Amino acid sequence: QVQLVESGGGLVQAGGSLRLSCVASERSFSRYFMAWFRRTPAKEREFVAAMSWDGVSTYYADSVKGRFTISRDNAKTTAYLRMNSLKPEDAAVYYCAGGAMSPFEGYNSYRSASKYAYWGQGTQVTVSS
């Protein structure tokens, strides 16, 4: 059972940056797609970004494209989400997730929460205007 632990959330002014980290407990992390989702009181869990097991392929929600960057370091069993130019509407609890998927499943799979078996506890991001 892979455990995921996020960190790096906090309070930032609009236009600022944060980097979230997600540490996995198992080396099998390197075989999983990793993704970030976010949730607000008004919205269900929303896809943010995903990355293939080898780091070659990345996928982003339109709302964060060009501002957020997902990355991973398999040697450290850690995934990251760099968030630049933050907006008040980016405020949410951010979750990392891991799932076993092939590189041929397509965007609709990678953005689907049901495809990910492993989830972290979440880290709060607050953006002040």
| Residues 84-121 as b or e (16 or more Cβ within 10 Å = b) | eebeeebbbbbbbbbbebeeeeeeebbbebebbebbbe
**Phi/psi at 2 (nearest 5 deg)?**
-80, 130
List Cβ neighbours of 107 (8 Å cut-off, separation of 6 or more).
Answer: 59
pLDDT digits (tens, 9 = 90+) for 36-51: 999 998 888 999 999 9
Per DSSP (E only), the strands in the chain are: 4-7, 10-13, 18-24, 33-39, 46-51, 58-60, 68-73, 78-83, 92-99, 118-119, 123-128
| pLDDT score recorded for residue 58 | 96
| Residue 25 pLDDT > 90 | yes
- What the block records as the tokens of 35 is 């993704």
pLDDT digits (tens, 9 = 90+) for 51-109: 999 999 999 999 999 999 999 999 999 999 999 999 999 999 999 999 999 888 999 99
